[in-house]
Structure 1
Amino acid sequence: MAEKRNIFLIGPMGAGKSTIGRLLSQKLHMEFFDSDYEIEKRTGADISWVFDVEGEDKFRIREENIIKEITEKQGIVLATGGGSIQSKKTRNRLSARGLVVYLETTIDKQLDRTKKDRNRPLLLTKNPSRLFLENLAKERNPLYTEIADFIIKTNSYSAKIVVNNIINTLFNN
């Protein structure tokens, strides 16, 4: 990685994309973006409210446009929203404009990491049950895998160890 290529983090809610992205960008001296944060910054409202007011379809269009804009930058780390990969355009952009790292985690870890989080629209509008997350995984995991350059497991490791694993994977391939 002599030249700083973009690094895009994908994966389900609770995989650690935002936390790991922030640490990774600091360690690699790259600018960090979080697509959910960008939506909040631009709308002046939290993700849950935007999702609730606009509905999922309009929210996904907004998300797609923000990711399009951010991925045009160079030398960045981007943490994407868990559902952003549902857009074929977004998947194509991520694949074409940087290295895609799929942060994989288990349903148990997702439940544990998101149980107190009130800023996850899909968990607020639906019963955050194991079955709900399993259904999301069936739908989304193949899409994550489809565009991933690398898959990094996050369930049993601290964010710092995951960051080191990502860096080792990037520099040894």
Structure 2
Amino acid sequence: MRPIFLVGMPGCGKTTIGKELAKKMELDFLDTDEEIKRAYGRTPEQIIEEDGEKRLRVLELELLSGIMNLKNVVVSTGGGLPIFNENMSKLNTSGITVYLSCSADTLWKRLRNDRTRPLSRTYEEVKSMLEKREPEYLKASYHVHTDGKTQIGTQIQNLYEVLRNEWTK
């Protein structure tokens, strides 16, 4: 099966939903932020703070080229990975893409106490980033709203039902 790429803003649930979806579908799970940390010894946030966002995007592009051809895996992408270097198009070509959407208000509720994220330290930054990034995210094959109105188990089951058909292709 082609890889399943989960895209969306930081705080939308890519890692949480991705791990559970992978378990339900009996697939491997990969988080690109964790892979960056493992490969380079620093978190994406540290790379942005120390070397700038452009450096992180180069490292993400290198990582992406190595994971696009993986099989039987659910991949949680970093929030900015699909936005740069025409990566969203690459994700759509090489796998199944799912946009986990969330309102700026919900994202801020989830992120406001996380001081490790240099690009989303205020509500205004989160809202602005969502407005800029969403047109790319909307290019995903599937969209799932994760504002918390539905239990995570229900969201995973619904996503599983949709992806099960893709799984057999």
TM, length-normalised to structure 2:
0.90
Unaligned 5+ segments in structure 2 are none
CA distance in 1, matches of 2:46, 2:89: 28
**Counterpart position of 2:146:** 154
Q: What is the CA distance between 1:90 and its match in structure 2?
A: 1.4
| Alignment RMSD (CA, Å) | 1.5
Unaligned 5+ segments in structure 1 are none
Pair 119,160 (structure 1): closer, same or farther in 2 beyond 3 Å: farther
What is the aligned counterpart of 1:73 among 47, 70, 73? 70
Q: What is the CA distance between 1:95 and its match in structure 2?
A: 0.6
Residues 1:42 and 2:39 aligned together:
yes
Residue identity in the other structure for 1:97: S
Structure 1 residue ranges, 4+ long, deviating more than 6 angstroms after superposition: none
**Counterpart position of 1:133:** 126
1:122 alignment partner, SS class: coil
Q: What is the CA distance between 1:171 and its match in structure 2?
A: 3.1
State the Cα deviation string for residues 64-123 of structure 1 (Å, max 9, x = none): 111221122111100001111222431122011111000000111101111222332313
8 Å CA contact 2:45, 2:116 repeated in 1: yes
Residue identity in the other structure for 1:151: H
Aligned length: 165
> Percent of aligned positions with the same letter in both sequences?
30
**Counterpart position of 2:160:** 167
Residues 1:62 and 2:59 aligned together:
yes
2:132 alignment partner, SS class: helix
8 Å CA contact 1:33, 1:77 repeated in 2: yes
2:49 alignment partner, SS class: helix
CA distance in 2, matches of 1:172, 1:39: 31
1:5 alignment partner, SS class: coil
Residues 1:12 and 2:5 aligned together:
no
